[in-house]
Amino acid sequence: MTAQAPAQTDGGIRLNGLIKTFRGPHGPIHAVRGIDVSIAAGETAALLGPNGAGKSTTIDMMLGLSKPDGGTVTVFGRPPREAVDAGLIGAMLQSGALIRDVSVRELVTMMASLYPDPMDVDEALEVTGLKAMASQRTQKLSGGETQRARFALAIVSNPELLVLDEPTVAMDVEGRREFWSIMRAFAARGRTVLFATHYLEEADANADRAILMAHGRVVADGPTTEIKARVGRRTLRATLEDVDPSTLACLPGVASAERHGDAVILSCTDSDQAIRALLERYPAARDIEITGGSLEEAFLELTGEPDDEVSELVAP
Amino acid sequence: MSGLAYTRFELVRTFRNRRFYIFSIGIPILLYWVIAAPQHNKIITGTAFTYGIYYMVSLASFGTMMSMLSTGARIAGERQVGWTRQLRISPLSVRAYFRAKILTAYAMALLSLCLLYISGAILGASLPAERWLEMTGLIVIALVPLAALGILVGHLITTDSAGPAMGGLVTFLALLGGTYFPITGGVLHTIGQLLPSWWLVQAGHIALHGRGWPVRGWITVLAWTAILATGAGWAYRRDTTKV
Ligand SMILES: Nc1ncnc2c1ncn2[C@@H]1O[C@H](COP(=O)(O)OP(=O)(O)O)[C@@H](O)[C@H]1O
Ligand SMILES: [Mg+2]
């Protein structure tokens, strides 16, 4: 496998001028309006955007589940269906449950049998933490366990490209943490991973690169650190007299500060750190308010700008 | 290699589901015992047949048809949970998928048929061996278009509409096919003969009259197979590809 891997994954993933329009009851819905992205083999990329941005539509086209109205997709140099048939792709779709009347192990074993070079079933059950419930019937699993079983189905194929569409939705905090650590371990084997999320934190913590989508377009694309700096700011307002804004701007997690009368307004890259530091050093600070930081707001700003500026934001 | 593993998987899964035993196998057998047992040796007026054999033959067509169409309800359920799309992004070929569905439906139909034959034998229905064989062979052939119909319907309906859709379809096909009572003339006769279920019922009647299908029967079954198989392929693709 490792010997043939380079040739098999030549070309990475390329989306060129991808367009998808649905017919809606009130006219056409432009779900994807021309996307150009290429992802190199071995990269871990997050497709980040609010609900309705077009992430799932883009993923469906990458997987050959949906035909583009314009543009092309290639996965490792092949059309998606060929890559699927060659067993190169494992995916966890956004919506879906499991079929009933089979045990977790039977389900994962069956899926593994469809692929040319699958992972060991025990290993897949082990890493996804399903070992203890391997003989359970699928209909008896909890929401979080179901998601893990769906994840096991995606990785047991031992794919070159792993696609995850909002995989952590039904999971609790602990479940999410485990999930992402498994994903990162898998990515560390040199595999290509693309996941969709609407949480900036998830993208930041688990991907090298974030591709921001809004209204069917890519509005920014770059290393997660850069993206975070661009959209992840929150505004912290407090009443605090007699402190110079330039001193406040040096607090950890604060990017810039200004004063309006008795109030100070801090623009934060990390509002948690900023508020701790602020209260520790200036216990007199009060009427504290933290706003913004939601991806939706950041996207509204990004996409609310005139078209020429939006296109300027699109990374080369 | 992979295709057969999927077929086995489908079989295991299907035969674990109690609901499908009840509908596809339980109901025909139960009906048979309720109708035929109390009077199994009595001759039905105006015919030369006992209740025991006449209803064994009638319910054979009904039961096997139910088995074939129950595929549709199963597929609708799988689509609802997104399993069909999950399979579509695996290397499982469309052919292997259809093969699994068809073989599972046949396994169920044959089980239903066996149980009816055994019940019939218990109730004294006796036939020359070659009649049993010929009847069974033609039933198996007549079920081909109905297997395709099950898949086609499964990819068109939703789980909510599965009950009424299946019930309606079975009733329509069974009624006009002549399962419930013989249709001997008139418009219904003409329409009935155009349906695949008519020839399924006729296949059963070999046991009674010893007559196989005329050419027209073979053509009808063949034509429906072509139409419904094409339809099933189309419905599957439509279902797994948002155009
Ligand atoms: N099958 C469909 N028919 C009609 N509209 C659709 C369909 N799928 C998605 N859409 C619309 O396309 C837009 C993008 O949806 P989607 O790709 O699911 O977004 P995301 O995954 O980013 O939340 C939304 O406005 C959604 O309502
Ligand atoms: Mg989505």
Total count of domains within chain A: 3
Q: Which of A192-196, A286-290, B47-51 has the lowest mean pLDDT?
A: B47-51
A107 and A152 in a common domain: yes
Asked if the Cβ–Cβ distance from A113 to B90 is below 8 Å, we say no
- Tell me the three state secondary structure of residue B55: helix
Q: Is residue A101 part of a domain?
A: yes
Range of the domain at B149: 3-242
- pTM metric for this prediction: 0.82
Distance from the B235 Cα atom to the nearest Cα atom in chain A, whole angstroms? 14
Total count of domains within chain B: 1
Please say if the pLDDT value at position A295 is more than 70: no
Asked if the Cβ–Cβ distance from A85 to B12 is below 8 Å, we say no
Q: How far is the CA of A93 from the centre of ligand 1 (A)?
A: 14
A106 and A21 in a common domain: no
A15 and A126 in a common domain: no
Q: Is residue A304 part of a domain?
A: yes
* Residue, of B206 and B193, whose pLDDT is higher: B193
Question: What residues of chain A lie within 8 A of the CB of B237, using their CB?
Answer: none
A278 and A224 in a common domain: no
Q: Is residue A4 part of a domain?
A: no
The pLDDT value given to residue A304: 54
CATH of the domain at A257: 3.30.70.920
Mean of the pLDDT values across residues A182-193?
93
User: Tens digits of per-residue pLDDT, A241-251?
Assistant: 989 999 999 99
Q: Does the beta carbon of A197 sit less than 6 angstroms from any atom of ligand 1? A: no
- Write the DSSP string, B18-50: HHHIIIIIIHHHHHHHHHHGGGTTSBPTTSS-B
Please say if the pLDDT value at position A305 is more than 50: no
Mean of the pLDDT values across residues B59-63?
90
Q: Is residue A125 part of a domain?
A: yes
Q: Is residue A1 part of a domain?
A: no
A246 and A135 in a common domain: no
Place of tokens 């377009």: A217
The kind and range of the H/E element at A218 are strand A217-223
Q: Give the domain-ending residue among A128, A143, A158.
A: A158
Q: Give the domain-ending residue among A158, A189, A205.
A: A158
Whether B14 and B104 have beta carbons less than 8 Å apart is answered as yes
Q: Is residue A3 part of a domain?
A: no
A164 and A76 in a common domain: yes
Which of A42-51, B13-22, B39-48 has the largest mean confidence?
A42-51
Q: Is B62 exposed, middle or buried (0-12, 13-18, 19+ CB in 10 A)?
A: buried
Residue B2: closest C-alpha in chain A: A114
Query: Which residues are found with C-beta within 5 Å of the ion, ligand 2?
Result: A 55-56, 94
The pLDDT value given to residue A306: 39
A167 and A223 in a common domain: yes
Mean of the pLDDT values across residues A192-211?
91
User: For a pocket test of ligand 1, which of A57, A69, A212, A217 has the largest count of ligand atoms closer than 8 A to its C-beta?
Assistant: A57
Q: Give B243's pLDDT tier (boundaries 50, 70, 90).
A: very low
The pLDDT value given to residue B182: 74
A270 and A122 in a common domain: no
Residue B221 contacts by C-beta under 8 Å, 6 or more apart in sequence?
B141, B142, B144, B145, B196, B199, B213
Range of the domain at A279: 233-292
Q: How far is the CA of A291 from the centre of ligand 1 (A)?
A: 29
A306 and A274 in a common domain: no
CATH of the domain at A57: 3.40.50.300
A207 and A71 in a common domain: yes
Q: Give A225's pLDDT tier (boundaries 50, 70, 90).
A: confident
A263 and A282 in a common domain: yes
A300 and A218 in a common domain: yes
